[in-house]
């Protein structure tokens, strides 16, 4: 089981590959981690060092892992924060080559573009590339609620609206759309939910809201969902596993009162969370 994970990397804290690699490894998955940034820490601290990598360097790294036969052994490609439109284009080219060579290879695109608190936080040329080039190549996309509405070009206030809009994304190529941090009119107070939508079926899982909002939760969720799928879980089971495991990490983070997620401290819970939140069918059977 091998995943090629193309995301940002930080020296301090847990976002991008620094949040995604360890959880996948805990699931017994060999991870080929290709960085798009090398930064001292995530934004939000008083200082940040390092930089977005040159697109030529990222392309060279991708070519290098391709030359080592990674595309012949990988089950999945996962992409997250890309850093520049040039990197986004290189990743699209890489995924296109990979899927042409191995049509059964799964591509999960986590479209890291923004959130409700900050709006779009990437360079202006990146969102159209993610929407128009990467998402149509993807088998799975995992946007948060804000990113989902951007990709669809419309608002979703209820689960029915979200399911209907997800069909417009599915028509462009993906087989599964998973919307995280969904805060809908029909979401009970004190809860947050995640919806997974396929062409004929949809599921939702609800977890209690916790009084924290650390960075990197989307990166962690995508890695947990991919881990479950790589290990053979179907969509509702993967959804339940990812939601349950990330809740366990966030619960431990809230208990510790730290600004960064307690991923390593929660190692065992990544695979076997104490509490199971089951996915409930909201369409289909």
Q: What is the pTM of this model?
A: 0.97
* pLDDT given for residue 285 in this prediction: 45
Which option is the CATH number for 2-283: 3.40.1190.20, 3.40.50.300, 3.50.50.60, 3.30.565.10?
Answer: 3.40.1190.20
Question: Domain residue spans in the chain?
Answer: 2-283
Helix (H, G, I), strand (E, B), or coil: what is residue 97?
Answer: helix
Evaluate whether 173 touches 137 at the Cβ level (below 8 Å).
yes
pLDDT digits (tens, 9 = 90+) for 60-114: 999 999 999 999 999 999 999 999 999 999 999 999 999 999 999 999 999 999 9
What does the alpha-carbon distance between residue 167 and residue 283 come to, in Å, rounded to a whole number? 13
What does the alpha-carbon distance between residue 186 and residue 62 come to, in Å, rounded to a whole number? 43
Evaluate whether 72 touches 105 at the Cβ level (below 8 Å).
no
Helix (H, G, I), strand (E, B), or coil: what is residue 63?
Answer: helix
Helices 17-26 and 217-230 pack at an angle, to 10 degrees, of 30
* pLDDT category of residue 284 using cuts at 50, 70 and 90: low
pLDDT digits (tens, 9 = 90+) for 211-230: 999 999 999 999 999 999 99
């Amino acid at each position: 089981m091998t995943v090629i994970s193309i995301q940002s990397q930080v020296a301090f804290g847990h976002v991008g590959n620094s949040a995604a690699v360890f959880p996948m490894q805990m699931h017994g998955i060999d991870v080929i981690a290709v960085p798009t940034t090398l930064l001292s820490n995530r934004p939000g601290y008083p200082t940040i060092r390092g930089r977005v990598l040159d697109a030529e360097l990222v392309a060279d790294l991708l070519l290098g892992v391709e030359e080592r036969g990674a595309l012949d052994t990988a089950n999945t490609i996962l992409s997250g924060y890309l850093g520049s439109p040039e990197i986004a284009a290189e990743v699209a080219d890489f995924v296109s080559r990979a899927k042409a060579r191995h049509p059964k290879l799964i591509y999960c695109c986590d479209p890291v573009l923004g959130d409700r608190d900050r709006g779009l936080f990437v360079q202006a040329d990146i969102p159209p590339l993610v929407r128009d080039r990467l998402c149509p190549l993807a088998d799975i996309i995992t946007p948060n609620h804000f990113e989902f509405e951007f990709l669809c070009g419309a608002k979703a206030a209820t689960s029915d609206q979200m399911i209907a809009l997800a069909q417009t994304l599915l028509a462009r190529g993906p087989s599964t759309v998973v919307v995280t941090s969904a805060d809908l009119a029909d979401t009970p107070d004190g809860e947050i939910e995640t919806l997974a939508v396929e062409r004929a079926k949809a599921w939702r899982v609800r977890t209690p809201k916790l009084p924290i909002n650390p960075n990197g939760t989307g990166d962690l969720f995508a890695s947990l969902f991919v881990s479950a799928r790589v290990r053979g879980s179907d969509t509702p089971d993967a959804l339940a596993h990812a939601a349950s495991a990330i809740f366990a990490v966030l619960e431990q983070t809230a208990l510790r009162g730290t600004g960064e997620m307690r991923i390593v401290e929660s190692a065992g819970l990544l695979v076997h969370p104490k509490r199971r939140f089951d996915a409930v069918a909201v369409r289909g059977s």
